[in-house]
């Protein structure tokens, strides 16, 4: 039994069995969520930088058949930032991590700019273990 997904099928919700559980790393909704995560950070954290685009996206790992029942998709790419620089970005798409567990959520980290190590050493919490 699966709850309905959004009309554009980018936002996958609860699914069981062999149903698709998470959108791909390259999905527009995921890229938008990554950019939104960075944009919502304290302005002094990333120096006011925002993500304009993400290129060279690849899936690093998918923990769907792991010990945890929560599926996590680990991704990386190259982010073009609003100040003209290019930085690596690591992000994790996690199921049942959205509002009251009804959808997926994204945790994103700009590796060289995580000066307070909010995401661990070299963005370790947004990378597979």
Sequence-distant (6+) residues with CB within 8 A of 115 are 45
Nearest by Cα to 89 from 74, 69, 104: 74
Q: Which residues pair with 108 in a beta bridge?
A: 91
Nearest by Cα to 129 from 79, 69, 60, 27: 60
pLDDT at 99: 62
| pTM greater than the 0.85 cutoff | no
Residue-level pLDDT, tens digit, the chain, 129 residues: 333 344 344 544 455 555 567 899 999 999 999 999 999 999 889 989 999 999 999 999 887 666 677 888 999 999 999 999 999 999 999 987 666 667 889 999 998 898 888 888 889 988 887
From the CB of residue 13, how many other CB atoms can be counted at a distance below 10 Å?
Answer: 17
């Amino acid at each position: 039994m699966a709850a309905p997904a959004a009309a554009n099928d980018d936002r996958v919700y609860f699914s069981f069995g062999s149903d698709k559980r998470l959108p791909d790393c390259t999905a527009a909704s995921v890229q938008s969520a990554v950019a939104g995560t960075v944009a919502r950070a304290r302005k002094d954290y990333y120096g006011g930088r925002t993500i304009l685009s993400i290129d060279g996206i690849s899936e690093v790992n998918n923990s769907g058949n792991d010990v945890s029942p929560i599926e996590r998709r680990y991704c990386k790419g190259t982010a073009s930032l609003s100040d003209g620089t290019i930085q690596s970005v690591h992000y994790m798409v996690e199921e049942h991590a959205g509002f009251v567990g009804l959808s997926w959520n994204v945790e994103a980290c700009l590796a060289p700019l995580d000066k307070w190590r909010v995401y661990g050493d070299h963005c370790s919490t947004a990378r597979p273990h």
